[in-house]
Amino acid sequence: MICRELRHFLYKNDKEDVPKMAKINDNYLKLKAGYLFPEIGRRVREFAAANPEAKVIRLGIGDVTRPLAPAVLKAFHDAVDDLATTAQFAGYGPEQGYDWLINAIIDKSYKPLGVSLKTEEMFISDGSKCDCANILDIFALDNVVAIGDPVYPVYNDTNVMIGRTGEANEKGYYKNIVYMPCNEANGFIPALPTEKVDIIYLCFPNNPTGTVASKAELKKWVDYANANDAVIFFDAAYEAFITNPEIPHSIYEIEGAKKCAIEFRSFSKTAGFTGVRCGLVVVPEEVMGTTSTGEKYCFNKLWLRRTTTKFNGASYPVQRAAAAVYSDEGWAQTREIIDYYMENARIIREGLAAAGVTCYGGVDAPYIWLKTPGGMSSWDFFDKLLKECNVVGTPGSGFGPSGEGFFRLSAFGHRENVIEAVERIKKNLK
């Protein structure tokens, strides 16, 4: 009896004392169990294990396949050799990036567009995915965020992780986020919000739909942002793939954008840096926010402080390689690689059309956004394409509820694989 009472006492007190461990960030528990691309990987691995004879062609995740441009590779090697000498050794560099890289980007990528930027307004990073997430550090949690649907999952998920949202509803929309549906009816370009928002995510050329926005379309967003004291997060990761000379490459080509827009760019797809890691973010000094007491403050200063506090800069060899992209030789070679991928996009787009599949994108972007046949769900089509054609794509529903019934194919594969995949689809997809 005494032992039983003692055990009860100890158990009772143990339960009362449970909060002894460090507490987790419960916001992570609001997210779906698996990020989109790991789930794709899991299904492909299971299929490959069960069908070892199948030659699976992957046109899903937007990873590049072409080698680095020779001029870029040489600069990379030379920079590594610098680290082997006392005279040329480079240790910590400036957290915001070396001026010689920043100025090369401004001179070669922005000035031809008629865009003038200060060196202090550009920050070099280890990838734009990080920038799109980390930029939230300098914005208050009570800002109202507007996000397109479908959308690059990082925009949505990082806002959930940081604690800006409530729980998701049965549709998959999170409380406190304004979702802007992008569908066939509106040409996959969202309408202006009907309610007050503070932060607007725009991605053009768009991932996943491959659509682009004209200057007139972007002007509407810039005017809205300036009229409503909102800030635009403009993801231009795929601007190098634009083929139409009338389509803007930067939000700053639009009058008034430097007062309201922060732009993100990436070397991952432009120069094949998915495994090298380099990106950039532009935060103009004119973009202002307000303090809790109503005073205006420059986001550029906040981002500089965040960068110098939490980041030690992209590596010296990587930045040397990135600078080589903008040399005459490097850019010519980089353009050849981009043209290679866009030819892949044409092959996919025209092949699908010949097979009677409705598709979008693939003209100014390396993604083809296709409508699943017969009203099939996105994941059912994923499984059908994998099993019957041994081809991997990305279910549209993974990008948001409005992506249901659609599917993304990437143009970043090897030419022979792209051609074979299209032939398999035309032959086997019934």
Q: What is the DSSP string of 381-406?
A: HHHHHHHHH-EE-EEGGGG-GGGTTE
Structural domains present in the chain: 34-63+330-428 (3.90.1150.10), 70-326 (3.40.640.10)
Sheet hosting strand 231-235, strand order edge to edge = 122-125, 279-282, 261-266, 231-235, 199-203, 145-149, 177-181
pLDDT of residue 412: 97
Are the C-beta atoms of 104 and 110 separated by less than 8 Å? Answer: no
User: Residue 291 — φ and ψ, nearest 5°?
Assistant: -80, 175
pLDDT of residue 62: 84
Dihedral over Cα of 194, 199, 205, 209: its sign: negative
Label each residue of 117-185 as H, E or C: CCHHHEEEECCHHHHHHHHHHHCCCCCCEEEEECCCHHHHHHHHHHCCCCCECCCCCECCEEEEECCCC
Burial, 75: exposed, middle or buried (Cβ in 10 Å; 0-12, 13-18, 19+)?
buried
What number of residues does the chain have?
Answer: 430
pLDDT of residue 430: 67
pLDDT of residue 34: 65
Q: What is the DSSP letter of 186?
A: T
pLDDT of residue 301: 98
Element containing residue 78 per DSSP (H, E): helix 70-82
pLDDT of residue 428: 86
Tell me the C-alpha to C-alpha distance, in Å, between residue 365 and each of 90, 190, 208, 242: 37, 18, 9, 6
- Pull the structure tokens for residue 425: 């689809």
pTM exceeds 0.85: yes
> What is the Cα–Cα distance from 169 to 351, expressed in whole angstroms?
38
Amino acid making up residue 148: G
Report the DSSP pairing between strands 57-58 and 391-392. parallel
Report the DSSP pairing between strands 145-149 and 199-203. parallel
pLDDT in tens, 179-195: 999 999 999 999 999 99
3-class DSSP state of 35: coil
pLDDT tens string, the chain, 430 residues long: the values are 445 554 555 555 555 565 689 999 999 999 976 668 888 889 999 999 999 999 999 998 789 999 999 999 999 999 999 999 999 999 999 999 999 999 999 999 999 999 999 999 999 999 999 999 999 999 999 999 999 999 999 999 999 999 999 999 999 999 999 999 999 999 999 999 999 999 999 999 999 999 999 999 999 999 999 999 999 999 999 999 999 999 999 999 999 999 999 999 999 999 999 999 999 999 999 999 999 999 999 999 999 999 999 999 999 999 999 999 999 999 999 999 999 999 999 999 999 999 999 999 999 999 999 999 999 999 999 999 999 999 999 999 999 999 999 999 999 999 999 999 999 999 987 6
Provide the 10 A C-beta neighbour count for residue 152: 21
pLDDT of residue 37: 80
> What is the Cα–Cα distance from 352 to 367, expressed in whole angstroms?
13
Tell me the C-alpha to C-alpha distance, in Å, between residue 346 and each of 208, 367, 390, 405, 411: 16, 10, 21, 22, 9
- Pull the structure tokens for residue 172: 């998959």
